[in-house]
Amino acid sequence: MGQTFVEKVFSKKLGRAVRVGEIVEVIPDVAMSHDNTAPISLTFKEIGVDRVYKPDIHVIILDHATPAPTEQYALNHKMVREFVKKYGIPHFYDIHAGICHQVMAEEGFVLPGRIIVASDSHTTTYGAFGTFGAGIGRSEMAVILATGKIWFRIPESMKITLKGQLPKGIVSKDIILHIIGKLGADGASYKSVEFHGEAIGALSVDARMTIANMSIEMGAKNCFMEPDDKLLEWLKPRARVPFEVVKADPDATYETELVFDVSRLEPQVACPPDVDHVKPVSEVAGIKIDQAFLGSCVNGRLEDMAIAAELIRGKKVHPGVRCLVFPASMNIYRQALARGYLQTLVDAGAIIMNPGCGPCLGAHEGILAPGEVCISSSNRNFRGRMGSRDSEIYLGSPATVAASAVAGEIVDFRK
Amino acid sequence: MGIEGRVWKYGDNVNTDVIFPGKYTYTIHDPHEMAKHAMEDLDPDFAKNIRENDIVVAGRNFGCGSSREQAATCLKFAKVGAVVAKSFARIFFRNAINMGLALVQCPEAVDRIENGEAVKIDFEKGELTCKVGVFRFPPLPEFVLGIIQDGGLILHTKKKLAKLTEAQSKTG
């Protein structure tokens, strides 16, 4: 009987066929943590071992509140740096590198067929590389530091086939928002979600990462997209070690199979306070905004900067709007600089910020006051997420964010 | 093993940001301090009025959103006896087990339980008793129960490591 991706990747790891529902223990190929390495290190100490089990499987990247906005955060970062030094963690990226998931990909840690865990929910992003990527908690990461091991229940799989050709200007963010709106915030709860079909193949690697990233917003455990030539080409200069592609068998059994046609999609917007509260932009156009946020691990890549720059070229950000731009990594920052995207955005009145998570999780760099509204290219619009519990966040594509920043209200960028 | 407590009832998709706001994730390390902010952006009265063994009852997908473990920690240290929901988001489910916070998945009961009523839960029997009657729920897998019974993942791991050291000292 054929196996799904997740069954196959765990079977390969364990050297025997696994079944859905089985609980297994594995040593992950890579385990990544970010600013939360500080509290993780305290839990690690509590376990009482005197060394990290396998320092070279760990990657630590500071991105959540960088540079430190307060003394408390500064202390946090200091603890992480000291931990890295003391226990000889070879892969450490300080505050200059960028958002952890982007850095993980650019630095060639995320490779087909690997099992990667990270103490961050958006670890599903790695599915775009044919990688098993799942978010875990802090205590679990502390235990991996101490023992190398983590348990998993082999999940059921859902197959989503995307067919058709995207209309001009419509991007992968619109696809995934549309799917989340249809399936709901728990529509793929606990599932390994596989994306197949011509519409995935047509997307760039950047754009695929957007869909994989947000699959957690419908509850997915992990995501999977089949590696193709486009991906292998992308990986060529980046992969740190040799890898073996793992694909689902053609006769694999899925719990659910769904087909979406992307050829008639409109720009999509997720309305507060839930990511699955999705409407076509025509239904929310006209809502006044105070802030426009372009960035985050879902939409802060080069392609996103290019889209925004193209739309905003020769125009001005509305005087009532703070337009904040966060390239997802220093590498993207440099390229966006070299290609003139950042110049265009600055000339229009946008503020270019440092690579990192920015205001996405409400820690710093663009917190919302009560009553304020933000249009955001990020992935969560929960109440209070970006500051006051009485502020509101609308999620859209980089094009929707850029056009709305100019208009001072949510608009359909095609008009 | 059982508990009895008052019900705090909420809806579907109670996310980790309203359970434990992001602005505190790197500023509060003390779990007792975390408890003071439990459910802050959903129900500001919760942390002030919660009593030991009170029970949170919610709809589908409880704990969706971030991987932040403090969402489980703050409820545990607010002395919540259990969370009863129609379903749980995956990472929250793991975090709760790892913190030793009891979870009950019982969709039938959720619709029938009223806010503020007293509910009794027997974890061993897998029984929840409320005003309208008794509901049964499936027990957790043995491996997972082992973690909860040891008092969470850290104590569970320490116990395992101690056994390993003991075995090694005998053979070596």
ipTM: 0.88
| Token duo for residue A137 | 């908690």
Query: Is there a contact between A137 and B69 if contact means CB atoms under 8 Å apart?
Result: yes
pLDDT tens readout for residues A124-154: 999 999 999 999 999 999 999 999 999 999 9
| Contact (CB, 8 A) for B35 and B74 | yes
CATH of the domain spanning A268-407: 3.30.499.10
pLDDT band at A1, cuts 50/70/90? confident
pLDDT band at B23, cuts 50/70/90? confident
Q: How far apart are CA A308 and CA A288, in angstroms?
A: 19
Q: What is the pTM of this model?
A: 0.94
Q: Domain extents for chain A?
A: 5-260, 268-407
pLDDT tens readout for residues A268-280: 999 999 999 999 9
Percentage of the residues of chain A whose pLDDT score is greater than 90: 99
Query: Is there a contact between B153 and A139 if contact means CB atoms under 8 Å apart?
Result: yes
Q: How far apart are CA A409 and CA A391, in angstroms?
A: 15
Backbone angles phi, psi at A258, to 5 degrees: -130, 150
Q: How far apart are CA A104 and CA B7, in angstroms?
A: 43
Q: How far apart are CA A386 and CA B48, in angstroms?
A: 24
Numbered residues of chain B with Cβ closer than 8 Å to any chain A Cβ: 12-13, 15, 17-18, 21-23, 25-27, 29, 40-42, 60-61, 64-67, 69, 72, 87, 89-91, 94-95, 98-99, 141, 143-144, 152-154, 157-158, 160-161
Range in A215-224, A282-291, B97-106 the model is least confident about: B97-106
Q: Domain extents for chain B?
A: 2-140
Tell me, yes or no, if the two domains A5-260 and A268-407 fold the same way.
Answer: yes
Inform me whether the pLDDT recorded for B172 exceeds 70: no
Class level of CATH domain A5-260? alpha beta
Inform me whether the pLDDT recorded for B60 exceeds 80: yes
Place of tokens 């765990």: A10
Query: Is there a contact between B13 and A146 if contact means CB atoms under 8 Å apart?
Result: no
| Token duo for residue B73 | 């920690």
Class level of CATH domain B2-140? alpha beta
Query: Is there a contact between B89 and A186 if contact means CB atoms under 8 Å apart?
Result: yes
